[in-house]
Amino acid sequence: MHCTTQTFNLCYGHRLLGETGKPSQVHGHSATVILTLQNTTLNERGQVYPKTKVEETIGSWITNDLDHSLILCNTDPLLPALNSLNERVYVMHENPTEENLARLIYTRATGYGLPVESVEVWDTENTRAIYTRDPEETENTDA
Ligand SMILES: [Zn+2]
């Protein structure tokens, strides 16, 4: 099995609904996203997947949609005020935990056809959330 990883920087703000203390306050992270791609075979250029295609798809989406955004749940009471001020907000249907961010990025990357094995979101140097491919999922061999 062949694996490659690509790393992306992700600066974002969020707050977690249902929490108390610091996580419930708007705060920011300078996170690292590690995307792991996996395939049993290599393409004609000897790659798991072309790195330029990764940059053009999920890398571009992370940069343009998530990076330097405030990421909030769609039920967050801050949303109407921020929207009226035209603040940059990315709205999720779930609480914007690192776990849900990892799954969001995984889902987006697989939607682009990338053979994703896992997505890690390191929100601090000590903590990370990982979302991995469901073993029942069929492997994507498009490259
Ligand atoms: Zn946080």
pLDDT of the residue at 138: 60
Query: DSSP 3-state assignment of 55?
Result: helix
Rounded CA-CA distance 13/26 in Å is 7
pLDDT of the residue at 134: 80
Residue-range domain boundaries for the chain = 2-132
Residue 125 to residues 30, 32, 62, 96, 115, Cα–Cα distance (Å):
10, 9, 20, 19, 26
pLDDT of the residue at 103: 97
Q: Residue 93 in contact with residue 113, Cβ under 8 Å?
A: no
Domain 2-132: give its CATH architecture.
2-Layer Sandwich (3.30)
Q: Which residues contact 66 (CB under 8 A, 6 or more apart)?
A: 10, 12, 90, 105
Ligand 1 midpoint to CA 66 (Å)? 14
Ligand 1 midpoint to CA 23 (Å)? 6
pLDDT of the residue at 140: 52
Average pLDDT over residues 130-139: 79
Ligand 1 midpoint to CA 27 (Å)? 6
What's the pLDDT tens digit per position in 83-113? 999 999 999 999 999 999 999 999 999 999 9
- Whole-structure pTM value: 0.92
Q: Which residues of 95-124 are buried (b: 16+ CB within 10 A; e: fewer)?
A: bbbbebbbbbbbebbbeeebbbbbbbbbbe
Residue 114 has pLDDT above 60, yes or no: yes
What's the pLDDT tens digit per position in 32-81? 999 999 999 999 999 999 999 999 999 999 999 999 999 999 999 999 99
